[in-house]
A and B are shown apart, each in its own frame.
Chain A
Amino acid sequence: MKIIQKYYSIGGLALLVFFGAFISACSFDEQVDPNRPSLAGVLTDASQNQLNNLVVGVESAMRNSLPIQTTASGTMARELYLFDADPRNTGDLLGGNGSNLDNNSFYSTAPWGGRYVSIKNANILLQSLDNTTSVTDTQKAGYRGFAKTVIAYELIEVLKMYNRARIDVADPDNLGPILEFDAALTAVRALLDEALSDLNGAGSEFAFPLAGFDGFDTPSTFAQFNRATAAVAAVYAGDGGAALTALSNSYFDLNGDLNIGPKHIFSLDSGDQTNGLFKIPDNNGDQIIVHDSFIADAEAGDTRVSSKTLIRANPTTQDDLSGAYQTALYASNISPIDMCRNEELILVYAEANILTNDLSEAENALNVIRNSAGLADLPLPIVPYTAEELTTELLNQRRYSLWCENHRMFDLRRYNLSNTLPIDRAGDQIFNIMPTPLSENE
């Protein structure tokens, strides 16, 4: 009997030893993300490779949510309709049936979020530069000039859409206040000047490659983009003199190729994006339809109408809205989108000259644009054109030169002309400022 019991105990002992082995062996390692590099890993002692990866992140994210940013503001400015399965594109944005813009819908949250991802990547780059010795101080100045210029460019996009922006976002746990338009724009212009001084001390070459910046990929040529952006910011601030100064140091060329300028580029590569503003011609259910007024209001022979739009095989109707033309702005889903081309700078030059009261030079610039679109010079007036008349012409040329490029809503807002827009359906309303997203917790 006892023997048997002993046998039992040995079996039990064996099992206990077995369990004990597991207990003692069980201490877990610190966990690391097996799927992606950590933020902390690039914030200290970043290699040049890691810094350059962040540069790519900055550039890549500049394209985030560009399609909705453009179609939403374009819809609000009656440039276009987006006919797809989301009724908010033809409802809220046009104030249909008394509806209001919502601060928690994709059209208000996505453009804001997209811009700030790029800004975040630029801020990570700036922080990493402060904590690394892998590149020289001269090279660091190049990275900084690039990062700050992009932050400023992105903040201008935010201001155009939302009329306000949060400038100080470097520390996610301690965000600065959201500034109203004027204060924010002042900060943006200061940042551009700071970036310029960085670029001026950045030597002759960047330590990183750029994409879409052909011809603007050295500190001195990138500084031209910085100044182009500064000129745009200056006219938005009503500062014509500063705009003219900035333009003179940019790639502005009154008689040059209108298409010169940095671009957002696209490809089908893994991890890359495609141009979401491209729409398959004649496709239904996902189409940018040209607002009738854009066709109807055009001067006869304006080649911008024929090059940017395409008549549809069948007119289309949705939500009591209709149109016979669709977008032809981009040839394919990998066509680039301009950040700021010479054509816009010529228009900025015209505007700056109106602001500084050099009206004949403004008229001259506007005629350059008109001619490029196959239109004759402005008719010779009996008395010289007034600033108001030229401003009207300027806004008209901007309407056709920059159609579906996120300008019209802001142009009308800054000149207080939004109420001149047509109403397509009874009960529609005109909005010209996108509400700040709910998640900003104001």
Chain B
Amino acid sequence: MKQKLLGKTFLWLFFALPLLGFSQGTVSGNITDSSYGGPLAGVNVVVKGTSRGAVSDFDGNYSINVNSFPATLVFTSLGYETKELTVEGPTTLNVSMAESATGLDEVIVTGLGTSIKRSNLANAVATVSNQELVGTTAQSTLDGALYGKLTGVNITSSSGAPGGGFALRLRGISSINGNNQPLYIVDGVYVNNAEIPSGLRFASGANRGNEENSANRIADLDPNDIQNIEVLKGASAAAIYGTRANAGVVIITTKRGSQGKTEVKFSQDTGFNTIIKRLGLRPWTAQSVEDTFGAAEVTLYNQAIANGGLFDYEDIIYGETGLITDTRISASGGDEKTKFYVGASYRNEEGIIKNTGFDRFSLRANVDHKISNTFNFSASSNYVRSSSSRSFTGNENEGGLSYGYTLAFTRPWIDLFPDETGTYPDNPNYSGNPIFVRDLAKNEDKNNRFIQGIKLEANVLNTGDDAVKLIFNGGADFLANETFVYVPETHQAQRGNQNGFIGVGKNNFTNFNYQGIAVWNHNAMGGDLALTSQGGISYLEQQADLIFNQSTQLIPDQTNLSQGSAQAITQNTSVVKEFGYFAQVEGNYQDQLIATVGYRFDKSTLNGNPNKYYGFPKASLAVNLHNFDFWSDGALQRLKLRAAYGETGSSAAFGSAFTGLNQVSIGGVGGSSISALKGDPNVEPETSSEFEIGFDAGLFNKVNLEVSYYNRNVSDLLLSRVLPTSTGFGSETTNLADLKNYGVEVGITVNPVQEENFFWTSNINWWFNRSEITRLDVPPFPQPGAGFGLGLGTFYIEEGKPVTQLAGNVNGVPTQIGNVEPDFQMGFFNNFTIAKQFDVSFLLQWKKGGDNINLSKLLTDLGGTTPDLDTPEAQERTSLGFVAERFVEPAGYLRLREAAVYYRLPSSALAFFGDTVTGVKLGVSGRNIFTITDYSSYDPETSTNGGAGLSSGIEVTPFPSTKQFYFHLNVNF
């Protein structure tokens, strides 16, 4: 029986195949925006029911091979309504697509193995497309590129140095000592975003590694490789990620190939960096010199004036114009079985301080292959080599290295340039000469990184009403980081003391993770109810081995570790393993009611009990009122009500459970001394539970509105509390408090003008967050590592107060003196397409409220160099003495974050190149073009304590932020 059936099939195929051959052909045409008729680039065209696809070019032209007619072509593009058209044979098919302002058809990942259309989503998941991320201006790092583009996101910059130093906070502070940075997942790989200290603190005297202003390693990802970013901001959306998701999840999908003609793209950005603003010189007069430094100093001042004027060291150190180039080439394409995207890019960015810079070489190969109807796999490979030279900025203690410190004390009549023999004079005003440091000292890092993701899918069952798919995905992220710090023995703070410093770090990180998921799609109630169920396991392992080698008492001019007579090595290793189960069921009743319930169990070696499972539930409901029969179309075209609840966790940092003894020595004999950290052997993860409600509405065909309110409670907050030091311990990380965050997020997209020659899209994001510590089991305390004590101002953990409060001693009583939380933030993005060929866009970001503690000013006040010291305001300030309130400043701002003008060459102009060139786009753009702020230092976005934990709003002599301008050239072949 079976044999006969097969035989018949073959017979049938024998006849049918030639026929199929006859009906093959190409459909091509032009895709335009229906509103104004301009060309639409990047539209995906797929033959329905196959994986055959193509993408439209800059001029909206596409061409696709169709195997069998009649066929249905599906046209999709982010932000446009999907269109399906049937073709009967090879033809020219011009398509006009209508804008769908909210991207309702966009697909959002909500489970680990499943996704859902945005229109059915019950959470406010923010997505950023490649166009939004890098379409306006060139971006150095992907986190820095997100400024102002998402609601509920706060970005802190700890350094303006090339190569980043950012921290993302999603919906406020979710953790104080646990992980406060979101989980980054790139093509299924949990990637490393460590901020790796270089050990320069052993030369500069900075207190901790987080004061070294290192970059965070998400900087290794080329933002141009990214197709799409999804940001799961809170527990209600991210619950299925369990104990890694307390601070949110950033899911990054890189570009992939599609079937069709191989497309080659070349783009070149060339630009420059300059300091964001100059603080300037104090307007010195002989009188003010005498009043400040005494009569003897006036002689030096007069000498300098006579010899050609004062030295503006701010300009000398920070005043360089850094050249930026970014070159990219990529090819993508594929056939029915195999699709590929390969790309290479090289970015080179010079800083505004001589000898600083960042470069990144990135290679990517993404391959999708269909093995059979059952099996298919995808592989995503990315090799990155990046390096940076960040020189010396930020906090220090008498190292004579950090520029901001040196400049605060250096008087502008002192000549610090080398003499004709190349000898740098000592700085008579401070322990270091900034010109010496700039020219001769080094703080560099190199990273070799390989990120490999893999996904294997098996469609094990597919009947009409049931489909079962097994998915295995995972990957590895290997990072070899090397740091190098060198301070020559001739530096004035080294001579006679350390006599030169070399610090070499060799740091290896291996992260790998995998998931096994089974997904079952079932149609019930005659197709009215679609059920998507999934269950699976997840495993994660993170290994780190950080070795720091230090050599001092150097042989002159030598930069080799062995050329010093005093050497020290420190090593820190860690292995973290986590394992979890998860399951989720989603039901969709006719796109009217969409409900999801899910649960995840996780255990982690970071918890006191490594084999105890912690559970994280989630549930959500979306109601699409406009899909019900009673809905009648009016001004309000769409209305979706949604509610979601979820829980996530965060485990304590590695080592929190251990009480150990540190290595010390005296008299050539080694020994053990108690470590400052008292371990808690019962430490548990902190748990966040979030409830979110909101609605999405579409009005007048022009306006889309998305409003969400969330309330998140973090219970058993992990706190590194200060212990009475008479115990011999300094701190303990344990579960001590509860924290509440709540806020509102509003997103509005409007298309005010949709004329043929003028098309305007406007997007407003507005949000705020408030926090409160609702339980604290210990007396209030200054957060260790987040400030400089109550004397100068610090974050202060206190029940009933916001977690972001700044406190200082006022008359001996710890008192709130500020709050880094803004009143609200707003992003205002506008895009104009004029006469079909010009694109003009800009992004304004407004941060209203929020305070900083500006301790750079403390230093310049102390050094007598603050530009405003001769004004009455400054005299009032200095009369306060060095108290914390004096340095609190409003840190709100309005900034033109990005702006650009692009011009697309019309097809007629391209004809000049013949067939080879299919699109050319030229443009100019800028980043951080202007800022209006009352803040008196370089940038209100600042953090002297890096990106982790409670860090933002405290400034100590950062690497100044920059503004950047670019010229862009994009060519498609």
Contact = CB atoms under 8 A, between A and B. Distances in A.
B2 interface: yes
Interface in B430-476: 430-432, 458-461, 468, 470, 472
B738 to A, nearest CB: 20
Interface in B668-727: 668-676, 678, 722-727
B782 interface: yes
Interface in B1-18: 2, 5
Nearest to A9: B460
Contacts of B591: none
Nearest to A116: B726
Contact of A317 (B293, B430, B460, B669): B293
Interface string A257-297: 00000000101111111100010110111100000000000
Interface stretch (B385-393, B616-624, B630-638, B874-882): B874-882
A439 B536 contact: no
Contact of B400 (A86, A285, A333): A285
Contacts of B611: 27-28
Interface string A416-442: 000000000000000000000111110
Contacts of A102: 789-791, 809
Contact of B789 (A12, A106, A113, A120): A106
Contact of B723 (A19, A39, A172): A172
Contacts of B661: 36-39, 42, 53, 57
A317 B409 CA distance: 11
Nearest to A427: B881
A36 B472 CA distance: 38
B672 A30 contact: no
Interface stretch (B109-117, B256-264, B561-569, B937-945): B561-569
B458 A11 contact: yes
A267 B665 CA distance: 9
A28 B603 contact: yes
B497 interface: yes
A99 B668 contact: no
Given A99-B882, A278-B497, A285-B432, A212 B725 contact: no
Interface residues of A, number: 107
Contacts of A1: 5
Contacts of B558: none
A105 B725 contact: no
Contacts of B724: 166, 175, 437, 439-441
Contact of B429 (A104, A285, A286, A333): A285
Contacts of A109: 725, 789
A77 B664 CA distance: 33
A98 interface: yes
Interface stretch (A88-96, A132-140, A352-360, A381-389): A88-96
A59 B781 CA distance: 30
Contact of B882 (A87, A103, A211, A315): A87
A267 B723 CA distance: 31
B398 A285 contact: yes
A315 B537 contact: no
Nearest to A10: B460
A169 interface: yes
Contacts of A15: 458, 460, 470, 472, 516
B492 interface: yes
Interface in A364-415: none
A300 interface: no
A437 B814 CA distance: 13
Given A19-B536, A283-B492, A56 B790 contact: no
B479 interface: no
B789 A11 contact: no
Nearest to B787: A104
Interface string A327-343: 00000110000000000
Contact of B567 (A37, A87, A103, A270): A270
B750 interface: no
Q: Interface of chain B, helix or strand or loop or mixed?
A: mixed
A93 B659 CA distance: 35
Contacts of B496: 280-281, 332-333
Interface stretch (B31-39, B330-338, B574-582): B574-582
A105 B789 contact: yes
Given A98-B881, A102-B809, A441 B779 contact: yes
Contacts of A96: 881-882
Contacts of B470: 12, 15-16
A212 B668 CA distance: 11
Contacts of A124: 674
A255 interface: no
A169 B726 contact: yes
Given A36-B663, A91-B881, A212-B666, A61 B673 contact: yes
Contacts of A119: 726, 728
Given A55-B671, A116-B727, A440-B724, A2 B862 contact: no
Nearest to B294: A317
Contacts of A106: 789
Nearest to B577: A28
Nearest to A34: B573
Nearest to A334: B566
A274 B498 CA distance: 10
Interface in B397-447: 397-398, 400, 405, 408-409, 426-432
Given A104-B790, A268-B565, A439 B375 contact: no
A318 interface: yes
A122 to B, nearest CB: 9
Nearest to A285: B431
Contact of B725 (A32, A59, A112, A314): A112
Contact of B671 (A5, A34, A54, A332): A54
B662 interface: yes
B765 to A, nearest CB: 39
Contact of A269 (B293, B495, B668): B668
A112 B723 CA distance: 13
B410 to A, nearest CB: 10
Given A27-B611, A33-B655, A104-B782, A166 B666 contact: no
Given A112-B726, A172-B728, A12 B468 contact: yes
Interface string B304-336: 000000000000000000000000000000000
Contact of B667 (A26, A212, A315): A212
A39 B679 CA distance: 10
21 contacts: A8-B460, A8-B461, A9-B460, A12-B460, A15-B470, A16-B518, A19-B536, A29-B610, A35-B573, A35-B655, A36-B675, A42-B672, A56-B672, A61-B664, A87-B862, A97-B879, A117-B676, A124-B674, A166-B724, A169-B726, A441-B778
Interface of B: 2, 5, 293-294, 296-297, 374-375, 396-398, 400, 405, 408-409, 426-432, 458-461, 468, 470, 472, 492-493, 495-497, 514, 516, 518, 536-537, 539, 552-553, 565-569, 571-575, 577, 579, 581, 603, 605, 610-611, 655, 657-676, 678, 722-730, 778-779, 781-782, 788-792, 794, 809, 811-812, 814, 858-859, 861-862, 879-883
Given A169-B728, A269-B566, 6 more contacts: A15-B470, A15-B516, A116-B726, A268-B553, A271-B665, A318-B862
**Which 10 pairs, one residue from A and one from B, show the smallest C-beta to C-beta distance?**
A120-B728, A56-B671, A211-B667, A97-B881, A285-B431, A12-B460, A268-B566, A286-B398, A57-B673, A172-B727
